[in-house]
Amino acid sequence: MKKFYLLLLLALPYACTDSTEETTTPPPYHIGEWLITFDIDATQIPVHANFTADSSLQIHNGMETITAPILFRNDSLYIELPHYQTYLSAIISSQDHIVGHWHNTQRGADYLVPFEAKPNFQESHFDEDKIEKFQIEFSPNTEDSYPALALFTLHEHATGTFLTETGDYRFLAGHFIDNQLQLSCFDGSHLFHFEAELNGDSLINGTFFSGTHWQEHWQGLKNNDYELRHPDSLTSVLDNSKPLELNIMSTDGEFVKLDSSYFQNKVTIIQILGSWCPNCLDETKYYQELYNTYADQGLQIVPIAFERTEDFETSSIIVDRYFNNLGIAYPAYLGGQANKMNATKAFPMLTPIISYPTSIYVDKTGKICKVHTGFYGPSTGAYYNRYTESTSAFIQQKLSE
């Protein structure tokens, strides 16, 4: 019964007015292309979108499209964004003007970002031209600096992404005009915006915004030979002398022991993730494909979610809904509140966990044979393709042993 009431509480943001005010006939507004402009500290972040005739919103991040249904109530609209417990609320002030807020409930009830939307009648083309690679440093000349690799197509309608040693910044799109680069992404969980100036082979005066809570500088240098450290080298096994044993919590609140009998004659991927993490979402979709291909041959996947809330009941509802919405065929478990220290404590046989997601590969004898940090998703192109090909080959090899 407690789970039922918590589920109602989680749904409350989308039920702000009396249900009798709902209408299946939306108020008049432009059907077609719109430009949604989010306002962060006087910085305007553009996001391309389509309002469709079947009452849905399509958000375009370059080659990615995210679709969400629209709920109308009088002159208001509510759009629950998929996967992340975030939503848009807005007023249709006229056929060509919508104003509202993005509510990121992952970060608290008062996390609001205002936006304005107007029809955008200019066509947007996101052609994949030759990709240029840049060696990137975020927070340069500080103790918090960290490396990245940027993949950009620098033309008027620019696209790209950043790869870090813990994941990627997904599908970015924007423009490159008069040597000024601007790239953005809105996926429901994050609102990213990057801007910089190209001076010769150098990207200078870079600023990165993530919602209202984060801002940092960055810089880069064109370098087609640059690579980050390999994701399999960042977390390693301290003690692999004994078969792996784990005590984890099901979303029903029961402790489950995974001992040698569980791993025997199976190949297992233990996935450390969070439902709030876009790279984890990309990885989960890929692991479902792996599972569909190799489960009959002995592959099993154990997702352990670390969530932002400390409340077990709320976390279990969020995780169950997340996996159900994705149609995942295997159960998920809970590891505690989301921070890297908690993940590291849960796996004392490893050096520190530095990323969500992190994947632990276990062979048929119950011993860890690989630890993979982060995930480079579809936005990284060739990096994603190489990873999926090598992972399939690795799973086949371990299944044959």
Q: Which of 165, 164, 210, 202 is CA-nearest to residue 183?
A: 210
Q: CA triplet 108, 109, 114: central angle to 5 degrees?
A: 100
Q: Are 133 and 150 in contact (CB under 8 A)?
A: yes
For residue 296, is pLDDT > 70? yes
Average pLDDT over residues 2-31: 52
CA distances from 22 to 29, 86, 93, 189 (A): 17, 20, 17, 27
Average pLDDT over residues 42-63: 93
Calculate the dihedral angle through the C-alpha atoms of 145, 354, 212, 285, rounding to the nearest 10 degrees: 130
Name the class of domain 10-119: mainly beta
Average pLDDT over residues 250-270: 95
Mean pLDDT of the chain: 90
Q: Which of 59, 50, 42, 170 is CA-nearest to residue 114?
A: 42
For residue 199, is pLDDT > 60? yes
For residue 277, is pLDDT > 60? yes
Determine the length of the chain. Answer: 401
Alpha-carbon gap, residue 248 to 144, rounded angstroms: 33
* Phi, psi angle pair for 321, to nearest 5°: -65, -40
| pLDDT tens-digit series, residues 332-372 | 999 999 888 989 999 999 999 999 999 999 999 999 999 99
Do the domains at 10-119 and 132-222 have one common CATH topology? yes
Q: What confidence score (pLDDT) does residue 123 get?
A: 52
Q: What confidence score (pLDDT) does residue 62 get?
A: 87
Q: What confidence score (pLDDT) does residue 3 get?
A: 45
CATH of domain 231-400: 3.40.30.10
Alpha-carbon gap, residue 350 to 136, rounded angstroms: 29
Alpha-carbon gap, residue 145 to 342, rounded angstroms: 24
Q: What confidence score (pLDDT) does residue 18 get?
A: 41
SS3 call for 214: strand
Q: Beta strand 358-362 with 159-164: parallel, antiparallel or unpaired?
A: unpaired
For residue 20, is pLDDT > 50? no
CA 62 from chain center: how many Å?
Answer: 15
For residue 5, is pLDDT > 90? no
The secondary structure element, H or E, covering residue 5 is helix 2-11
Kindly report the pTM of this predicted structure. Answer: 0.90
Is the domain spanning 132-222 CATH 3.40.50.920? The answer is no
Q: Are 101 and 115 in contact (CB under 8 A)?
A: yes
For residue 379, the tally of other CB atoms under 10 A from its CB is: 26
For residue 9, is pLDDT > 50? no
% of the chain surpassing 90 pLDDT: 80
| pLDDT tens-digit series, residues 59-115 | 999 889 999 999 998 889 999 999 998 999 999 999 999 999 999 988 888 899 999
Q: What confidence score (pLDDT) does residue 128 get?
A: 57
For residue 319, is pLDDT > 90? yes
Alpha-carbon gap, residue 61 to 388, rounded angstroms: 22
| pLDDT tens-digit series, residues 212-249 | 999 999 999 999 999 999 999 999 999 888 778 899 99
Q: Are 203 and 176 in contact (CB under 8 A)?
A: no
| Domain boundaries defined on the chain | 10-119, 132-222, 231-400
Q: What confidence score (pLDDT) does residue 29 get?
A: 87
For residue 12, is pLDDT > 70? no
Which of residues 127 and 264 earns the better pLDDT score? 264
Average pLDDT over residues 196-209: 97
